[in-house]
Structure 1
Amino acid sequence: MADVDPLSERWAPAQIEVMQRLRDWAIGFGELHRHLAGWMRLPVSDAHALGQITWAAEAGTPLSPAELSRRIGMTTGATAILLNRLEDAGHVRRSRESSDRRRVTLRPTPAAREQARRFLAFAGTEIAATLRAAEPEELRVVTAFLTKIAEATGDANRRLGQGPASGEGP
């Protein structure tokens, strides 16, 4: 962990600007999730979970219920209830694809995948156009930077998950 106090450190204007743009992206991404929820007539938490399940399956790395719990910040019990709702609504299917038959894999149904595809076709045009217009070097630099930010965020979350050290925190 770096020896930097984020509250007393002097930040360059460019560093502040980056943090503000990251905040803007996070807020906008959350709003897109709320729109997806409305589009699919789901509670926001269910739409968020379905988005995670769909993106992971599209990337060829389908999620387990435990990994989904971690990604959406819910307990495994609450995630099981959420998955029951999504499965009953015909959005998700659970399967046992591994040689370890205890491991459950989550996949969106074809109908849910098609609804999400229609949403992205309608809502994602500006984002897709921006990505396609970016130069390969610009994408490489942004990807490298965001990877470092994601790693730093992961490190902070792991440390916070272990609880505060003696004399720190509430």
Structure 2
Amino acid sequence: MSEQEQSPPSPRPPDNRAFGRLLQGLASEMNLLGHDFAASQGLHATDVQALLAVLRAAPGGEEAGEGITPGRLREELALTSGAVTAVLDRLERAGHVRRTRDAADRRQVQVHYEPGAARIAAEWFGPVAARTDRVRSEFSTEELSTVVRFLTRMTDELEDLRRTRREGGPA
């Protein structure tokens, strides 16, 4: 194989400290974007976390009729019931969620993502999606599969650590 036909050497992976800094940088930028979105909507940063929890609770989308209870939201966000009520009041006033009573058990309240709120989020996060697409286009399918596997595993591990710590177990 001639010198021109040789592929460039693969870059060396960063050491653990540099890798950690890269992950911290990504997490920090995502967190700051969330704070900026909250501020643009007159919300608190915790409100954005609650909104994300509501979205995760409806994996079939807002049309699936699934929701999350305020109690489940309280557990997920580690807030008091009063704080959850305040968060839901702000999100409802801003048009992001709606609360409904369960048809079978009227005592049970479900929180649902408001379909109209998708437009607000799409306008604000559209440039984020465009930049994500631009970066994704620089990677092969195989590379993206590895990235997806890594991000999935990291998210699972960090969720497990957070839950374990909240339950008072060993890290």
Q: Do both share a fold (TM > 0.5)?
A: yes
Looking at structure 1, the residues matched to 53 and 160 of structure 2 have their Cα atoms a distance apart, in angstroms, of 21
CA deviation profile, 1:58-88 (whole Å, cap 9, x unmatched): 6536433233334434233311221022223
Contact 1:40 1:47 in 2 (8 A): no
CA separation of 1:104 and 1:24: change in aligned 2, threshold 3 A: same
SS of the aligned residue for 1:94 comes to strand
Match of 1:20 in 2: 21
Which residue number corresponds to residue 141 of structure 2? Answer: 136
Q: Which amino acid aligns with 2:83?
A: A
- Cα distance, 1:136 vs. partner? 2.1
1:117 maps onto 2:122 in alignment: yes
- Identical positions, percent: 29
Over 3 Å counting, the alpha-carbon distance change for 1:151 and 1:76 in structure 2 is same
Compare CA radii of gyration and give the structure with the larger one. 2
CA distance in 1, matches of 2:82, 2:48: 18
Q: Any stretches of 5+ residues in structure 1 without a counterpart?
A: 1-11, 166-170
How has the CA–CA distance of structure 1 residues 56 and 35 changed in structure 2, closer, same or farther, with 3 Å as cutoff?
A: farther
How far residue 103 of structure 1 moved from its aligned partner, in angstroms, is 4.5
The residue number in structure 1 matching 2:131 is 126
Moved more, 129-138 or 51-60: 51-60
Structure 1 contact 56–62 (Cα < 8 Å) conserved: yes
Q: Which runs of 5+ in 2 are unaligned?
A: 1-12
Partner of 2:152: 147
**Counterparts of 1:49-64 in structure 2 under 5 Å?**
49-54=50-55, 56-57=57-58, 60=61, 62-64=67-69
CA–CA distance in 1 between the matches of 2:90 and 2:52? 15
Mapped contact 1:54–1:108 kept (Cα < 8 A): yes
Matched, 1:160 2:165: yes
CA RMSD of aligned residues (A): 2.9
Contact 2:41 2:94 in 1 (8 A): no
